[in-house]
């Protein structure tokens, strides 16, 4: 039985980790960290867990935690994991960081986009970018995994095979993404009040959103060239789900079947990636509560562009589900253990 500790267990991603690990047959949660609710019953914070979780919230003592558990999940804002991690901790336990601290390989890029100093740059190289379908083998051996962002998981996986096989002109790639509101976190802000979000849609972070360099880095690695792109996130009045609509010029004339074959070469054996049939567009509702990535695409002969669409549940494949998928890999378990979550409709 893998002993797991969660730092930040009362955020939405942390709560989802608890939900998923509760149904995982080879793991048990030993530490429900939450600086905001220290000493409070976890089930009093998340009442869905009443009579399911019987534990109190603990402080963020990573040293102490490292001595008690096999794996630590940090579901906290950027900066925290980097400020706490150490050789001592990594020698005792594995760390899966759901924040951005170890996702970018260039510390200057990190510091430029996140506007904070990186406290543990010495681990950046060692850290494995935990997009399981791309870095599976490296994840298996990792001590420290940087769990990808929600927008980035969706954006990268949707375009990855085409970038890798050189099908699209990377300089033309534009990603227009739409996210449910749980992605904004559980902080008490006027902007996230029901009446401000409901019956509304807006773009935000235009040309400045921090997930941009992460997408650029990973798609750049796939394409074998530097990638600079536009990424625009939007806030949608729904709890969960991300839809990424991506536009790029095709480098050559291709048919739907040929593009499908490109996806199949990459993802043919991937359980959690579903490339949809022709003329079917992904909908976030069809993946809700599950670890699936649904991908569809359409070739526009008139403009010479391809339009890619990817959908995930931002809290599952975009956060907690992928973290558990990484944990499974790191501990040699079946990759889908605890993740056989059938999407819930409606």
Q: What is the CA radius of gyration of the chain?
A: 20
**Binding segment toward its own copies, per CB under 8 A, in 46-54, 77-85, 261-269, 323-331:** 46-54
Q: Tell whether residue 278 is a contact of its own copies (CB under 8 A).
A: no
Cα torsion through 118, 229, 271, 94, rounded to 10: -10
Residues 237-276 that bind its own copies (CB under 8 A): 237-241, 243, 245, 247, 274, 276
**Binding segment toward its own copies, per CB under 8 A, in 72-80, 105-113, 123-131, 203-211:** 203-211
**Binding segment toward its own copies, per CB under 8 A, in 71-79, 107-115, 176-184, 318-326:** 176-184
Q: Which of 176, 260, 261, 336 binds its own copies (CB under 8 A)?
A: 176
How distant, in Å, are the alpha carbons of 36, 222, 299 from that of 186? 11, 34, 39
Q: Tell whether residue 26 is a contact of its own copies (CB under 8 A).
A: no
d(CA 205, CA 177): 11
What residues contact 76, with CB distance under 8 A and at least 6 apart?
7, 8, 11, 60, 98, 99
**Binding segment toward its own copies, per CB under 8 A, in 69-77, 91-99, 177-185, 254-262:** 177-185
Active site residue 150: yes
Helix (H, G, I), strand (E, B) or coil at 343: coil
Q: What is the DSSP string of 80-147?
A: HHHHH--HHHHHHSEEEE-SSTTT-S-HHHHHHHH-S--S-GGGTTT-EE--HHHHHHHHHH-SEEEP
How distant, in Å, are the alpha carbons of 12, 42, 75 from that of 56? 17, 5, 17
Q: Tell whether residue 159 is a contact of its own copies (CB under 8 A).
A: no
CB nearer to its own copies: pick between 16 and 101: 16
Minimum gap (Å) between residue 287 Cβ and its own copies: 7
Q: Tell whether residue 153 is a contact of its own copies (CB under 8 A).
A: no
Exactly one of 57, 81, 132, 150 is catalytic; name it: 150
Minimum gap (Å) between residue 211 Cβ and its own copies: 14
CB nearer to its own copies: pick between 51 and 255: 51
Minimum gap (Å) between residue 295 Cβ and its own copies: 11
d(CA 241, CA 239): 7
Residues 292-311 that bind its own copies (CB under 8 A): 294, 298-300, 302-303, 305, 307, 309, 311
Cβ neighbours around 52 below 10 Å, total? 12
Active site residues: 150
């Amino acid at each position: 039985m893998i002993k797991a500790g969660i730092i930040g267990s009362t955020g939405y991603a942390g709560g989802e980790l608890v939900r998923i690990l509760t149904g995982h047959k080879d793991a048990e949660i030993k530490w429900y960290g939450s600086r905001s609710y220290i000493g409070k019953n976890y089930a009093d914070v998340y009442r869905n867990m009443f009579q399911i979780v019987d534990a109190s919230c603990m402080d963020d003592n990573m040293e102490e935690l490292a001595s008690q558990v096999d794996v630590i999940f940090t579901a906290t804002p950027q900066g925290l994991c980097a400020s706490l991690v150490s050789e001592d901790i990594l020698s005792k336990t594995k760390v899966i960081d759901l924040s951005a601290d170890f996702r970018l390989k260039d510390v200057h890029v990190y510091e430029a986009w996140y506007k904070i100093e990186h406290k543990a740059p010495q681990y950046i190289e060692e850290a494995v970018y935990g997009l399981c379908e791309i870095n599976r083998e490296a994840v298996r051996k990792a001590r420290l995994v940087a769990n990808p962002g929600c927008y980035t998981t969706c954006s990268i996986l949707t375009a990855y095979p085409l970038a890798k096989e050189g099908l699209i002109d990377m300089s033309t790639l534009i990603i227009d993404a739409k996210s449910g509101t749980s992605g904004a976190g559980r902080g008490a802000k006027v902007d996230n009040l029901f009446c401000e979000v409901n019956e509304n849609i807006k773009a935000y972070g235009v040309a400045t959103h921090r997930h941009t360099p992460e997408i650029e880095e990973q798609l750049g690695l796939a394409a074998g060239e530097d990638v600079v792109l536009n990424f625009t996130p939007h806030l949608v009045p729904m709890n969960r789900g991300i839809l990424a609509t991506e536009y790029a010029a095709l480098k050559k004339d291709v048919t739907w079947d040929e593009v499908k074959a490109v996806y199949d070469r990459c993802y043919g054996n991937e359980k959690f990636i579903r490339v949809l049939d022709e003329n079917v567009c992904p909908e976030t509702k069809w993946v809700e509560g599950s670890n699936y990535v649904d991908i569809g695409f359409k070739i526009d002969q008139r403009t010479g562009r391809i339009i890619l669409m990817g959908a995930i549940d931002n809290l599952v494949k975009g956060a907690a589900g992928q973290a558990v998928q990484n944990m499974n890999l790191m501990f040699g378990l079946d990759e889908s253990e605890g993740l056989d979550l059938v999407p819930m409709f409606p």
